[in-house]
Amino acid sequence: MEPDNMKACIIAGGKSGRFGGDKSVYVHEGRPLISHVLDVIKPVFEYPVLIANDSEKFSFLGLEVIPDIIPGLGPIGGIYTALEKIDCSRVFIFPCDMPFLNTEFVRYMSDIPDVYDVIVPRAGEFFQPLHAIYSKKCLSKIKKQIDEKDYKMSSIFEGLNIRVVGEDEIGFYEDPFMIFKNINFKADLGLHE
């Protein structure tokens, strides 16, 4: 059963410049990368939504596709679109290029009480803003940031009520440095093409 008043959104609008091709549909272990992400979140969120500008490319997934309100802003544009367009008080954001996510950890984060603006994991010194839950309370802050042409993900959390999910919590489910491994280069998948 889906968590109350929360929707899962996979962001798949990136250009994949460093990867040398469209990584969202790159076949890894017999399936597109985005399908690996979907497999992990579907047991928790039955009807995820895709934030992407090419609905045709992703038609094989059978998901609702919502185009970016302002294309070309990178991840912050995807989060803004999800918060603006989804009719839920919270969105759980996922990237299309993290094939090592963990279903039980997704469920754990989804069960954290709804009293924070953002629920975000941190491994080492790095937040994971693309594996985070954002409430509608973040919308005006993110919109202001976009209006000021500040597209840095690191700026999003300033001034918000944040629940950091620490390494000890993450580590109960999976290696904190493996779970959030995103694929930027083919070498990240052990490929040397």
Question: Residues 133-164: pLDDT tens digits?
Answer: 999 999 999 999 999 999 888 888 989 999 99
Q: 77-88 b/e with 16+ CB inside 10 Å = b?
A: bbbbbbbebbeb
What's the CATH class of domain 6-189?
Answer: alpha beta
Q: Is 90 helix (H, G, I), strand (E, B) or coil?
A: strand
**74 or 110: whose pLDDT is higher?**
110
Amino acid at 155: S
pTM of the model: 0.89
| Cα 148 to Cα 34, 130, 141, 151, 190, distances in angstroms | 31, 21, 11, 9, 39
Domain ranges for the chain, please list them.
6-189
Quick check: 87 pLDDT over 70? yes
